[in-house]
């Protein structure tokens, strides 16, 4: 078995969600592209979305990962937190590896049968512990994106 790190590429100002699912679904009210790697039958990468550029980016990243039942969603005009619970509630979705705008590397294991996602490297390691100013910034951001009201 060989371990590989696959760096994903997606446009600045977009977010990416990586997960594992049994089938492909669509999502309303935001710009998105989603690509899904079939693990049986024709073993094609299936794609959907309402933005051709984001569909293309999703397909490119799915091709790079090339792991059965993996999906890649590239999202614009919405934050993952706005749609993540809806995605997790899809009966076909098995797991979510990340939902981020950070640089992402997907750790993939490859055997003679195929490939599987072991996990992701999302962003960078911590540089310290937040202080009072950092806490204020975090709470303001959460209010701005509609995640925290008070």
The 10s digit of each residue's pLDDT in 43-87 is 999 999 999 999 999 999 999 999 999 999 999 988 888 788 888
Q: What is the pTM of this model?
A: 0.80
Distance (Å, whole) CA 5 – CA 119:
10
Where do the domains of the chain lie, and which CATH numbers do they carry? 2-124 (3.40.1520.10)
The secondary structure of residue 41, as a DSSP letter, is T
73 φ, ψ (degrees, to nearest 5) = -120, 130
- Summarised one tens digit per residue, pLDDT across range 25-55 is 555 568 999 999 999 999 999 999 999 999 9
Closest Cα to residue 72, out of 98, 36, 106, 108? 36
Distance (Å, whole) CA 121 – CA 109:
14
């Amino acid at each position: 078995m060989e371990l590989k790190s696959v760096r994903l590429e997606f446009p600045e100002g977009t977010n990416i969600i990586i997960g594992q699912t049994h089938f492909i679904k669509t999502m309303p009210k935001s710009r998105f592209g989603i690509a899904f790697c079939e693990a049986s039958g024709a073993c094609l990468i299936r794609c959907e979305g309402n933005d051709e550029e984001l569909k293309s980016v999703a397909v490119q990243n799915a091709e790079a990962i090339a792991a059965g039942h993996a999906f890649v969603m590239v999202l614009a005009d919405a934050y993952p937190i706005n749609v993540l619970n809806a995605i997790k509630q899809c009966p076909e979705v098995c797991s979510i590896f990340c939902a981020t705008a950070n640089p992402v590397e997907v750790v993939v294991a490859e055997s003679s049968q195929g490939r599987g996602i072991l996990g992701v490297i999302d962003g960078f390691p911590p540089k310290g512990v937040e202080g009072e100013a950092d806490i204020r910034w975090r709470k303001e951001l959460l209010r701005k994106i509609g995640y925290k009201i008070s």
